[in-house]
Structure formats: structure tokens, C-alpha cells
Amino acid sequence: MIRWSFIELDEVRSTQEVARGLAAEGAPEGTTVVAKSQVSGTGRLGRRWLSPEGGLYLSFVLRPGQIAHPELATIVSTTAVAEGIEKSTGLAPTIRWPNDVILSGKKLAGVIAEAQASGGVVSSIVVGIGVDCNRRSADLQSLGGEATTVEDELGRPVAIPEVMHSILGSFSVLYARWAAGEDVREEWTRRVATLGKQVLVKLKTEENPFSCTATALEDDGSLSVSLAGRARVIRAEDLEWLREQS
């Protein structure tokens, strides 16, 4: 089990930046940076993550050693976020590959996992998690109505530390199983909304989006799709965006 230790901050540029710095200085696994707000929160592809007070913003350090497929950190973390939110609030979010936690068709939480490697060996992974908790959708208009919050969905605010500990508890269990060599994709598959769906995919490497059917999650966390009857594998790092069409 992970031994969690917490650095609690009020306002920070980005918990991810702080945790990355601590990881580089040798901080042990479980070192967790939590902030009440961030002025420069970032998501996948360097996108801005709005982080006023009322959200959960945290980043933690992993030292996975020789773990199989370190790329699965995003899949494991996203599963833990969905499960942790469910256990602490009773809401039942789903997952949109690769890193979105969804409720009522809108984004509720996001995950970013950044690996640091030297000599081909992963020395640390910093996982960042943002959950829109105690805010109202009125605050989220700037996101184009594509986001929701725990408070909106529940009709009442939640205790943010409870949500955090629930997520970290779920993560600990999944991580131990992953480290023991178990296949942890099953939990993800039970919660994912993307598989079996017609999806529209936009890759960074291609000009036009294309429509395909999401068919399976590969060992390394890539998504297999079927495109006009032909199989194709999409890597998360190549993805600009993905939308379900049916």
C-alpha cells in the first residue's frame, strides 16, 4: 500500500509543477501536493485547467520501479477517480478514454500522468487529478457547457477531503494489483463509456477528424478502433480529442 504524505497549500501555480519538482529532488512515493486553488492549472496537451476554490486539485508521486506498462498510469488513475467519486458521493461517473471522468455526458474530472525516465527506466510518475466539486455550472460557462460539478449533480456541496481520500484509497488498491502484475483493465472496462461506441477522433498528427468504432483497450492503454472494417490503434499521446457519437 502507498504511504501517503500531504503537503497542503492554499494557492499555487500548479500542484503538478510542485510535485514534479519534489519528484526530481527525490521525494518518496505517496508524496501528495494538494491546493485550494491554482492560478496556472494545466491539463493534457497543455490545456488550461480552471482551478478556483471549491475544486479538488492534487498531484502525487509514484515510484513504480519495473512495473509493466507504466503508460497505464492514466487508465489506473482515471478508474480510481471514478470509483473514489462514486464511493464518496454515490454518483456513478463513467470514463471517456483516455483521461476524462464524465457525468450526465459532461466532464466532471480529469487526470494527467507524467513519467520521468532516465536510461529507459521510469524513475517517477507524477499523477495530477482535478475534480470539479463545490462550484455551480454558472461558473463553468467559459467551458462551453461541457463541464459539470459534484455539487450540481448532487444538489449539495461535498466534503472535498472525503472525496480526495476516497480517490486515493481506490488508487492504492488498484496500484497494488497493477504492481503485482494483475490485469487492471477490467475495472476500467466496467466504467468506460467509450468502448463499443461510434466515436469521432481528432489526432494531432492528422488534419481531419475521422469516425470509427472503439473496440478494445490495449495492454499499454492505447485504444483499438475499427475504421471502415480495418483495425487501427490510437495512442493517447497522439489524441487531440475524442467524442462519442452514439
Which residues in this chain contact ligand BTN in the complex, by CB under 6 A? Answer: 14-16, 38, 41-44, 47, 49, 57-59, 99, 110-112, 128-130
State the minimum distance, in angstroms, from the CB of residue 40 to ligand BTN: 7
Q: Which is nearer to ligand BTN, 167 or 217 (CB)?
A: 167
C-alpha cell recorded at residue 207: 488534419
Residue pair 195/204 in contact by the 8 Å Cβ criterion: no
C-alpha grid cell, residue 246 = 452514439
The verdict on whether omega for the bond into residue 98 sits within 30 degrees of 0, i.e. cis, is: yes
- What does the alpha-carbon distance between residue 135 and residue 61 come to, in Å, rounded to a whole number? 27
Alpha carbons 207 and 143: distance in angstroms, whole number:
24
What's the one-letter identity of residue 161?
A: P
CB of 42 to ligand BTN, least distance (A): 4
| Dihedral sign for Cα atoms in the order 227, 94, 38, 2 | negative
Nearest approach in angstroms of CB 101 to ligand BTN is 9
How far apart CA 203 and CA 12 sit, in angstroms, is 32
CB of 221 to ligand BTN, least distance (A): 15
Q: Which is nearer to ligand BTN, 68 or 115 (CB)?
A: 115
Contacts of 11 (CB under 8 A, 6+ apart): 35, 36, 37, 38, 39
Name the nearest CA neighbour of 130 among 242, 49, 191.
49
Please identify the residue of the shown chain whose CB is closest to the bound ligand BTN: 110
Residue 178 CB, nearest distance to ligand BTN (Å)? 20
Nearer to ligand BTN, 183 or 240 (CB): 240
Rounded to a whole number of angstroms, the minimum distance from the CB of residue 71 to ligand BTN is 16
